[in-house]
Amino acid sequence: MSKLKIAIQKDGRLSEKSLELVRECGIDLTNGSRKLLSVAGNFPVELMYLRDDDIPGYVADGVADIGIVGENVVEEEQPDVQILEKLGFAKCRMSLALPRTDNYKGLDSFHNKKIATSYPNILQSYFKKKNIEAEIHEISGSVEIAPAIGLADAIFDIVSSGSTLISNGLKEVETVMYSQAVLISNSDLNNEKAEIAEKLLFRMRSVRKSGKNKYILLNAPNDRLDDIIRLIPGMKSPTIMPLAEEGWSSMHSVLNENEFWDVIDKLKNYGAQGILVIPIEKMIV
């Protein structure tokens, strides 16, 4: 049986989370010491650890079958791959930044300016769309120091927390795109590999869903049960069991993390008691 080759970033902003996601999918990586390859013991996959910039090309060429990489890298390189799923981690933006003391008067400020970046294609097409003529200077690393050493007037780079900009005396002035980790696939997988990729994608979705949801148990007065069911309907509908004490029920449901505190406040107003909230490890819907 053939193995699906998954490319993930060797070292960088996506590596930890990519590996964690693969592990949470129940894939047991025997020699996960990040050499070049590791083979899973219990699922037909093989992990390849690569530089992020190389991942789209290798997936397009079939050296790897699927890969986890930043959307920005895919956008920059325009490889012939399919984006299977946005993975919701390593979120960042691609922005234009200027020295903090510069007076920014809108996009026209970039006319005839020299801009350093590792993402010339994204910037080029953005400027084309906005009718800006600028000189794009491609450099491969430490873009943020370019203005200070007189190499450029501005930069275009990844911004996540923004601390790199601050520590280099720069300010973000325009956001060109938002990015996050995505799962990409070779567009011509054979049936066997496509099936493995499908299974893996199903697992990834289950892991992501469960992460955002919590299992909730509570006791409620029977006359408020309808309100509570409307508030936390659960996956299909909540489980309700009578308590030994007359007029009370126990209820089990599922609750999304984003609405957690809001729901808890309302539950208390409805007279719910003994509320327990438990993490969900996997969620199959």
Q: Residues interacting with ligand PRP, by CB under 6 A?
A: 12-13, 52, 141, 143-144, 157-164
For the bound state, the minimum distance from the C-beta of residue 104 to ligand PRP, rounded and expressed in Å, comes to 19
Residue 155's beta-bridge partner residues? 97, 116
- Residue closer to Zn ion by CB (options 131, 161) is 161
Phi and psi torsions of 62, nearest 5°: 85, 5
For the bound state, the minimum distance from the C-beta of residue 279 to ligand PRP, rounded and expressed in Å, comes to 28
For residue 37, the surrounding DSSP H or E stretch is strand 37-39
75 binds, among ligand PRP, Zn ion, none (CB under 5 to 8 A by kind): none
- Residue closer to Zn ion by CB (options 76, 153) is 76
Binding to Zn ion (CB under 5 A) within 102-131 occurs at: none
By CB atoms closer than 10 A (0-12, 13-18, 19+), residue 10 is: middle
E-only strand ranges, 152-259: 154-159, 170-179, 181-186, 213-221, 239-242, 248-256
For the bound state, the minimum distance from the C-beta of residue 53 to Zn ion, rounded and expressed in Å, comes to 5
User: Applying CB under 5 A, does 71 fall inside the site for Zn ion?
Assistant: no
For the bound state, the minimum distance from the C-beta of residue 160 to ligand PRP, rounded and expressed in Å, comes to 3
Residues whose CB is less than 8 angstroms from the CB of residue 38 and which lie 6 or more positions away in sequence, other chains included: 29, 30, 31, 32, 46, 47, 49
- Residue 242 exposure: Cα atoms within 13 Å on the Cβ side: 4
- Residue closer to ligand PRP by CB (options 160, 273) is 160
Q: By CB under 5 A, name the one of 48, 52, 57, 68 that touches Zn ion.
A: 52
Q: Which residues bind Zn ion (CB under 5 A)?
A: 52
